[in-house]
Structure 1
Amino acid sequence: MSDIVRGLFLRTRLPWLLEHHARIPVLALFSFVNGCISIGIMAALAVVTHSPFIFPSLGPTAFLFFYTPTAPSASPRNTVIGHAIGVTAGYFSLVVTGLTMAGPALAVGVTWPRVIAAALSLGLASGLMVLLKSPHPPAGATTLIISLGILTKPWQLLLLMAAVILLTIQAFVINRLAGIPYPLWNPPAEPADPSANKRKS
């Protein structure tokens, strides 16, 4: 019986499926199923707690988790640090422009201070992610969510980061169960470029 269970488990793992079936349909199904599961859990948590555990930039983060899980930008380190940078840059831009108590741009319109806040937040987030070697493109959306006034209260920003961490934990569990070597924290080391030594010599 244990051999049967083990055989069935192995046949549901992504490497086996890719080896025995067409690549694109398998990857599409994997992304579809796990995108539904991961975001569905976060949305259900938002309903139960009446808190913002779901927001737009979680979508592209989930896509990276399940389409390119071993890419550096999808690693837990880049994901958590990237979104934290986005949150910090977004809130800093609100403080600088005096918009911490202002309504969202979608409701009250875009003003010149809001233009400055949006530009400053994305510029800061982009520069800091590069500087700290933690690029995570969806964090660019996170910083605009804040600088445009959609989520601005400190407790909302803490929940936003909690949601990022919960989604990252889901990605780790799902990808590991699927047989993907998803990292625990740091992105996988990039293989050395043998041509670099040749160019130096």
Structure 2
Amino acid sequence: MLNPSLASLPTFLSRWLGYRDPSQPLKNHKTWRICIWSFIGAWLGIAVLEIIGTYSPQLHEYHSPLVIASFGASAVLLYGSIDAPLSQPRNAFFGHIFGALVGVIINKLFTQVPTHWSSAEQQVIVQWVAGSTAVALAIVVMQLTVTVHPPGGATALIATVDDKVIAMGWYYIGVVAMSACIQIVMACLVNNIDRKYPSYWWRPASLPLKIDLGNLSTALPSPSSHHHHQHNKADGSSSPTHSQNEEEIVVDMDGDTATTHASIYEGNEPKSPINNNAILLDPTQPLHIPDNLLDANDIATLKAIHQKLTDLVAKSD
């Protein structure tokens, strides 16, 4: 969750850090528009890394590759799937750092064995064992630190199988850290031109919860109706009955995401989606619903969800 203190920063600065006014609905972008900005972001992000790799004398001194290949995979996440937990700055940075650290350590332990201690065939075996061990161990470290970033596994693997990187030794970690920082900065600059990134900086938070009113089904049951209704299918068969006074609102929170399902029926047919707007539910703040946005039943649904979130927060405290 983005720190509310970002709101105190000037708009031109807070925007590039991913902050948006909670009272303003987020844009609903078309697929073609998302694809264009993903292309621009990935192109610029990788180009910057390659330019630095080409013209930096320090990188040349340590025979660093033009670019660490695993950052190509990071570009897919940072520009093509910007809302995913795996794409957020903490994961993108520490996933690579832990991957590089594990890779270099395994490299030192496995592949730096003096050649006169083993045959050429044994050296080959040591190398593939080192690669698989580095990836597996990097995954465990990322899981334990809640910083899973799939390209981090490739970062660990490269440290044990790429001759140039093996020769870099500990310097590899510095190059990876620099590359990760550049990619995150570029993602903030490009993604916040027309979209919003990141969703959070340090850790995922379930609250405030964004409710997509376009996918929110109908509202709470009418208090005057207490009988069951059946919904007829196209073939004439009947679907399971739904009690009109039965509240079917479930809030699922798994630490990384929060989703809300509201499926309350009115009459014999569920109501159609409301609209394409969105609203934030924050149980730490009073519920505010703009005038003329929802009808009474829809407002009742959101109030019920808001109360459930408030109860969950109280239990977690």
**TM-score under structure 1 length normalisation:** 0.75
| Residue 171 of structure 2: aligned partner | 155
Are the counterparts in 1 of residues 111 and 130 from structure 2 also a CA contact under 8 Å? no
Amino acid at match of 1:67: G
Task: Kindly report which structure 2 residues correspond to 1:24-173, keeping only aligned pairs within 5 A, or say none.
Answer: 24-50=31-57, 51=59, 52=64, 54-99=67-112, 111-150=124-163, 151-152=165-166, 153=168, 154-173=170-189
Q: What SS class does the counterpart of residue 136 from structure 1 fall into?
A: coil
Say which structure, 1 or 2, has more relative contact order (CA 8 Å, 6+ apart): 1
Post-superposition CA distance 1:70-108 (Å, at most 9, x none) = 211111101111111101111111122143889xxxxxx
The Cα offsets for residues 6-49 of structure 1, whole Å up to 9 and x where unpaired, read as: xxxxxxxxx6582xxxx222222111111111111111111111
Per-residue Cα deviation, 1:38-61 (whole angstroms, up to 9, x for no partner): 111111111111524612111111
Distance 2:77 2:204 in 1: 15
User: 1:115 Cα shift?
Assistant: 1.4
Q: How many residues align?
A: 174
- Distance in 2 separating the partners of 1:87 and 1:100: 20
Per the TM alignment, residue 129 of structure 1 is displaced from its structure 2 partner at its CA by: 0.7
Pick from 190, 198, 218 the counterpart of residue 174 of structure 1: 190
- List structure 1 segments (4+ residues) > 4 angstroms apart after TM superposition: none
Unpaired stretches in structure 1, ≥5 consecutive residues: 1-14, 103-109
SS at match of 1:64: helix
Larger Rg over CA atoms: 2
| TM-score (normalised: structure 2) | 0.49
- 8 Å CA contact retained: 1:82, 1:135: yes
Q: Secondary structure at the match of 1:82?
A: helix
SS at match of 1:61: helix
Asked if the contact 1:122–1:140 (Cα under 8 Å) also holds between the matched residues in 2, the reply is yes
**What residue identity is the alignment partner of 1:56?**
A
Structure 2: which 5+ residue stretches go unaligned? 1-25, 116-122, 210-249, 254-307, 309-317
Tell me, in whole angstroms, the C-alpha distance in 2 between the residues paired with 1:194 and 1:138. Answer: 31
**Alpha carbons of structure 1 residues 169 and 181: separation in structure 2 relative to 1, 3 Å:** closer
In structure 1, the residue matched to 2:303 is: none
Of Structure 1 and Structure 2, which has the larger fraction of its residues in strand?
2
Q: Distance in 1 between matches of 2:186 and 2:39?
A: 15
CA contact (8 A) 2:101 2:173 kept: no
Give the 3-state SS of the residue equivalent to 1:111 in structure 2. helix
Matched, 1:185 2:201: yes
Q: Which amino acid aligns with 1:131?
A: L
Q: Percent identity?
A: 20
| Separation of aligned partners in 1, 2:102 and 2:162 | 13
SS in 1 for 2:158: helix
